[in-house]
Amino acid sequence: MSIRSIANHIWLTAIWTILLASTRAQILNPVKWTWKANEDAKGEYTLVFTAKIDPKWHVYSQFIGEGGPVPTSFNFENNANVELVGKTTETGVKVHEGHDPVFEMQLKYFETGMTCTQKVKVKSDTKLKGYLEYMVCDDERCLPPTQVEFEFDLKGKSSATPLKTDTVTKGSGPPVPPVDKVTPAKEDTRAELITKDTASCNFGKNGFDPAQFGVARKNCGKQVNTVSVWSAVTEGFVWGLLAVFMPCVFPMIPLTVSFFTKRSEARGGGKTAALLYAGSIVLIYFLFSLPFVVLGSSQDSLNSFSTNPVVNMIFFIVFVVFAFSFFGFYDISLPSSIVNKSEAASNAAGYVGIFFMALTLVLVSFSCTGPLLGNLIGNAYSSQGGKMKLMAGFTSFGTALALPFALFSLFPQWLKRLPRSGGWMNTFKVTLGFVELILAVKFLANADNVSHWGIMKREIFLGLWAALGFALFLYLIGVFRFTKEHADGKISWGRYAFSLVALAFAGYSAYGMYCHEVPLFSGFPPPKTQEFSWCVDCKNPCPQNLNCYHDYCEAMDAARRQNKPVLLDFTGYACQNCRKMEENVWSQPEIHELLSNKFIVLSLYVDDRRALPESEQYFSHVLNKKIVTIGNKWSDLEQTCFNNNTQPLYAIINPEGKLLNDPRGYTPDIATYRDWLMCALR
């Protein structure tokens, strides 16, 4: 065999191996074979094999040289009662013959149809068995060589009985009885059998097996970390900086700095003590995070906690309570006995005294910092970021709060640049009260979306935001003030500037009420789908009007029929980053086209609290609890098979259920996400 011949066979083997995986999912059957025996004379027959070929496909001739595609061939079992007369001939309506650039040789193939005949002589009544082999290709792919078994009832002394027909499936079962005329071959039903395969479709009733999805191809769209702790650090730091300007904290800066400056002048070590004081504030907030971290003792507890409607309603109520405390209706503070004990302990010498000084500041300022910490706790839980995210946020909050105390103690001359305490601090506090109400709406929407109450539609959500933004605008321009506030007199330019920001916020929210996209708010309002919006273009239950599935079996069945990979979309009704991905990434034309035409999208909501049928409930050893809801089931699948408990998480599998590349989490960069999708397609 020549080198070129060997290379061609290797090339063909590779093509067949790759295509075998895809063609098993959607059983391609572009060629239908029928056959019959025509009696020419007593004991003489012409065996006629007819191939009906689907458009764009072609079958190769019997006469192909070595090193090319597999030729069509007819193989008859040895039978002493049958004599083959001559060779099998071939004809066709649409025949192509010429040089093929792929195989680099002369080739002949048939489109639309192909008829082959073989003359035989029969000595006595007998059955003639055998098989034919052929290869079918189109302009983009070839299917593996297929063998089709056939059988004829031939009589040596009487006319032949018309031949039965069969399918192209090798080993298709016992022959069917003879019929009066040739009928089309029965369509292949293996796709139905795969759909009903309990091992591949109904898995999960008794728990999940990670081996179900095989091993991902490494370094193909790989994402090492899907949980961004840095987002929590940034959020905590921002809330901490805002806390600095609150009336409970800001006036304490010059007093505390003055204390350490006088201490330095009297006995030295004032700057060291100030740094210890700032470090103690950071340590205290870190310690405060530990009880909340304990709540997330298992992988699934934070997720269940964050999506629980009762928990979200509690956060909604707490945020409203915090907001009205900022409006001046009442003060939220810790019991005075705790503050007094801490203040008494601050008189101790050395580091112990400094630590309790810092603790006293933290406790006294709780009425201002408590609501901001509530924001941090609520956002950390609702974003499903895990224990590390909450701990990082608290520590970052304490760092931002402690930073001015450390800097002004090291550089006391900077105090002259600080603005004076005054009415602006109360205005700042009230403004944060409106921010609290805006965030409270988010938690109310979470509870509604997860519970499917149908109250908090997208338009209502944005309408409430528009109303709150406009109310803040009216407050800042002096149209009204709260009862305990004193008249500020002339309104500053800074206050007017913030009022314009509030008005822009209100206008943008109102714009989104009328079915317009509001990408700056993506992730906060309910999704723009049939269930959560009244817009006329939101009649599809899937994001971005995609044809998605929510049932694993239905999605895999569609994947096999359409020969497409499946995008597993682990998402949640209360998942903010999931909405951001859908609204900012999936909406992009190049991404939307891929998801619409090249993938089967399977959205699995881990916070779906609808109950599973009793027969499908089971105990998960990974989550260490009984799986009783649909969301529990998908959460168990995500954690057991993909070792992840955050959303969104995307994994791509082929129609046989095997991973094509590494799963990926939140990916706001469009080009990166597109490359990841293309990686799986390749």
Which candidate, 375, 340, 367, places its Cα nearest to that of 356?
A: 340
Least confident interval from 5-14, 184-193, 496-505: 184-193
C-alpha atoms less than 13 angstroms from C-alpha of 396 in its C-beta half-sphere: 21
Give the span between the Cα atoms of 109 and 60, in whole angstroms.
4
Which pLDDT score is estimated for 299? 46
> Percentage of the chain surpassing pLDDT 90?
15
Give the span between the Cα atoms of 450 and 233, in whole angstroms.
28
User: At residue 174, what is the residue type?
Assistant: P
CB 479 within 8 A of CB 543: no
CB 518 within 8 A of CB 535: no
Give the span between the Cα atoms of 136 and 523, in whole angstroms.
49
How does residue 157 score in pLDDT terms, banded at 50, 70 and 90?
Answer: low
Mean of all residue pLDDT scores within the chain: 75
Report, in this order, helix, strand and coil percent for the chain, each rounded to 5: 45, 15, 35
Give the span between the Cα atoms of 395 and 507, in whole angstroms.
36
Which pLDDT score is estimated for 235? 81
Kindly report, residue by residue over 298-319, the tens digit of the pLDDT. Answer: 444 555 656 677 877 887 888 8
Mean pLDDT of 621-649: 81
CB 46 within 8 A of CB 107: no
pLDDT at residue 270 tops 50: yes
Which pLDDT score is estimated for 340? 65
Give the span between the Cα atoms of 382 and 303, in whole angstroms.
8
Q: Residue 570: CB partners within 8 Å, gap ≥ 6?
A: 604, 606, 634, 638, 642, 644, 647, 648, 649, 650, 651
C-alpha 316: how far from chain center:
27
Which candidate, 15, 428, 52, places its Cα nearest to that of 250?
A: 428
> Which residues share a beta bridge with 207?
204, 205
Higher-confidence residue of 36 and 166: namely 36
pTM of the entire structure?
0.50
**Residue 207 to residues 163, 195, 203, 618, 642, Cα–Cα distance (Å):** 51, 19, 7, 7, 14
pLDDT at residue 366 tops 50: yes
Give the span between the Cα atoms of 438 and 464, in whole angstroms.
8
pLDDT at residue 60 tops 80: yes
Which pLDDT score is estimated for 571? 87
In this structure, are strands 566-571 and 600-605 parallel, antiparallel, or unpaired? Answer: parallel
In this structure, are strands 136-137 and 58-60 parallel, antiparallel, or unpaired? Answer: antiparallel
Q: Give burial (CB, 10 Å; 0-12/13-18/19+) of 133.
A: middle
How does residue 535 score in pLDDT terms, banded at 50, 70 and 90?
Answer: confident
Which pLDDT score is estimated for 470? 95
Which pLDDT score is estimated for 176? 33
The residue to which tokens 């900012």 are assigned? 584
Kindly report, residue by residue over 396-446, the tens digit of the pLDDT. Answer: 888 888 888 888 877 777 766 766 666 777 888 888 889 889 888 988 888
| Domains detected in the chain | 3-171 (2.60.40.1250), 210-218+540-681 (3.40.30.10), 227-418 (no CATH), 423-539 (no CATH)
Mean pLDDT of 205-234: 57
Which pLDDT score is estimated for 360? 77
pLDDT at residue 180 tops 60: no
Higher-confidence residue of 298 and 193: namely 298
- Considering 133-147, 374-388, 470-484, the range whose residues carry the highest mean pLDDT is 470-484
Higher-confidence residue of 183 and 43: namely 43
Higher-confidence residue of 99 and 538: namely 99
Which candidate, 411, 415, 414, places its Cα nearest to that of 271?
A: 411
Instruction: Take residue 664 and report the two structure tokens written for it.
Output: 């990926």
pLDDT at residue 33 tops 70: yes
CB 316 within 8 A of CB 444: yes
How does residue 199 score in pLDDT terms, banded at 50, 70 and 90?
Answer: very low
Which pLDDT score is estimated for 19? 43
- Considering 52-66, 318-332, 614-628, 638-652, the range whose residues carry the highest mean pLDDT is 52-66
Mean pLDDT of 64-85: 86
pLDDT at residue 25 tops 60: no
Instruction: Take residue 104 and report the two structure tokens written for it.
Output: 């680099």
> Percentage of the chain surpassing pLDDT 70?
71
pLDDT at residue 601 tops 70: yes
Kindly report, residue by residue over 434-447, the tens digit of the pLDDT. Answer: 988 988 898 888 88
Phi then psi dihedrals of residue 110, to 5 deg = -120, 135
- Considering 163-167, 326-330, 541-545, 666-670, the range whose residues carry the highest mean pLDDT is 666-670
Q: For the packed helices 229-244 and 387-410, what is the interaxial angle rounded to 10 degrees?
A: 40
pLDDT at residue 635 tops 60: yes
Q: What angle do CA 48, 53, 58 make, to 5 degrees?
A: 105
CB 483 within 8 A of CB 328: yes
Kindly report, residue by residue over 648-661, the tens digit of the pLDDT. Answer: 889 998 888 888 88
Which pLDDT score is estimated for 465? 93
Strand, helix or coil at 594? helix
Q: Residue 277: CB partners within 8 Å, gap ≥ 6?
A: 256, 260, 354, 357, 358, 402, 405, 406, 409
Kindly report, residue by residue over 203-218, the tens digit of the pLDDT. Answer: 445 566 665 665 544 4
